[in-house]
Amino acid sequence: MKSFSYLVVVLVFGSFLLAQEKRSVKYFKTDLHRSELLKEEVPEEEAEKINHFKATYNAQGRLIKVEFYPNGDRILAQMRKREIFPRPRPPYKYYRRWNPHTRKLGGQLSSSKIGSLPFYRVSFEEESAIRTVEFFRRRNRHLWTYYFMTREGEKEPHLSIVFSTQQPLTVLDPHLFHTSASEMKQGWIADFKHNRLNRPFETVVTDPVGNMYYFYRFKHRYETEGDSLNPVSFRYTTSEYYLADSTKMGSHQLVFNENERLLKKEFFDAKGKLLETIEYIFDSERNELVTLIRDPKGGILHREVKKTN
C-alpha cells in the first residue's frame, strides 16, 4: 500500500486584512511538488521585498505548511501607483462642489471654514491646470482622489479615480452605477472615457497591478416629445455592466427631463428582461418627492413620500 503525505499551501495577503474582514478559505489543485516550490532559499530580509514561499517544519524536521506571500505584487502595485499618479502638493484650494465630468469647481472656501461637511482639496500645476482633486467626507477622512491622465497615443486626458478606502462604486453615483458591479477596494482604480459632451461612455475597474474586475458601458440619447410650440426634451442614459471576461451582468436605463432631474429608472437582467421600475414624481406645490417601485407588470411594490427643500 502506498503512503501519502499532504502539503498545505496557504496564500497570505496580509494579517491586518484578516483582522478587519471576514476570513475566506479556498483550496486550489496543483501538480507541483514541494521540490518545485522550495527551490531557492533566500534570507528573511530579501523575502520581505519579493514574492516567496515560507516553509514551516515541525521539531522532527518534517514539512507541515507552506505559505505564499505576494510581497512583490504589493510593492509593484505601490510603485505603479507612484509612477502613474502624481502626488498632491501644496498650495491647496478647498471647494464644496466638484463635477469630475465637466471639471467644474464651486463653493470655494478657506481651510478654516471646512468644518465637518464633505469637501474637495485641489492641487494645481504651475500653469493653473488641475493636478489632483481629493475628496474628504470630513477633515482627515480621505475617500478617493481624481486624476486626469494622458495615456500614450492619446491627445486628451482621461479621468481616473483612485479609492483610498474600501467602499462601493455607487457612492460616486448611485444612479449611474449598480450594486451588482460596485466593489472597490483600497487602491483600486476606476478609469473613465468621455464623449464630446463630457458624458462618460465607459468605466473600467482595475487594481493597481492592472487586473481588470468589471467594466461599464454607457449610451446616451435625446428625445423630444410634444408639438413645435410646446416641445419637451428627455435624456436617456443606458448603463450596461460586464465582468472582466465580457459576461454581461445586467443593465438599467435612466430617464432625465430637460432640467437634468431624474424621472425614472428601469432595471433589466442580462438578457434584457425588465425586472423593476422606479419612478420619481415631484410635487412642487407640496414640496414632495414621491417614489414608486413597480414590478415588471406595472404593479406598485412600494410607495414613499419625502419632503423636498
Over residues 202-210, mean pLDDT: 91
Q: Is the pLDDT of residue 94 over 60?
A: yes
Q: Considering the chain, what is the average pLDDT of its residues?
A: 84
Element (H, E) at 216: strand 212-225
Q: So what's the pLDDT on residue 83?
A: 57
In the chain, what are the domain boundaries? 9-73
Compute the distance between CA of residue 141 and CA of residue 165 in angstroms, rounded to an integer: 10
Q: What is the average per-residue pLDDT within 217-239?
A: 88
Query: In the prediction, which pLDDT does 70 show?
Result: 65
Instruction: Kindly tell me if the per-residue pLDDT of 41 is higher than 90.
Output: no
pTM surpassing 0.75?
no
| pLDDT, position 79 | 43
Q: Answer with the residue of higher pLDDT: 274 or 126.
A: 274
Q: Which of 154-158, 168-172, 287-291, 304-308 has the lowest mean pLDDT?
A: 154-158
Q: Which pLDDT value is given to residue 256?
A: 96
Residue 215 pLDDT > 50 = yes
- At residue 100 the predicted structure's pLDDT band, cuts being 50, 70 and 90, is very high
Lowest mean pLDDT among 65-79, 97-111, 159-173, 197-211: 65-79
pLDDT at residue 11 greater than cutoff 80: no
Checking if the pLDDT of 23 tops 50, the result is yes
Q: Are 214 and 191 spatial neighbours (Cβ–Cβ below 8 Å)?
A: no
| CA 195 and chain centroid, separation | 20
pLDDT in tens, 242-279: 999 999 999 999 999 989 999 999 999 999 999 999 99
Q: Does residue 70 or residue 216 have the better pLDDT?
A: 216
User: Model confidence at 228, in pLDDT bands (50, 70, 90)?
Assistant: confident
Q: What is the per-residue pLDDT for 89?
A: 87
- The burial of 47, by beta-carbon neighbours within 10 Å (0-12 exposed, 13-18 middle, 19 or more buried), is given as middle
**Cα–Cα distance, 193 to 180 (Å, whole number):** 21
Q: How confident is the model at residue 119 (pLDDT cuts 50, 70, 90)?
A: very high
DSSP-derived 3-state class of residue 31 = coil
Mean pLDDT of 105-131: 90
Which residues fall within 8 angstroms of residue 7, CB to CB, at 6 or more apart? 34, 63, 65, 66
CB atoms under 10 Å from CB of 236, counted, come to 15
CA 68-69-70 angle, 5° bins: 115
Q: What percent of the chain has pLDDT over 90?
A: 53
String of DSSP letters for 63-118: EEEEEEEEHHHHHHHHHHHHHHSPPP-SSEEEEEEEETTTTEEEEEE-GGG-TTS-
Q: Look at 70 and 6; give whichever has higher pLDDT.
A: 70
Average pLDDT over residues 119-138: 90
pLDDT score recorded for residue 74: 54
What pLDDT is attached to residue 84?
72
Q: Which pLDDT belongs to residue 295? A: 96
Q: Is the pLDDT assigned to residue 82 strictly greater than 50?
A: no
Tens of pLDDT, residues 295-309: 999 999 999 999 887
Planar angle of CA 30, 32, 35, nearest 5 degrees: 150
Residue 110 phi, psi dihedral angles, 5° rounding: -85, 160
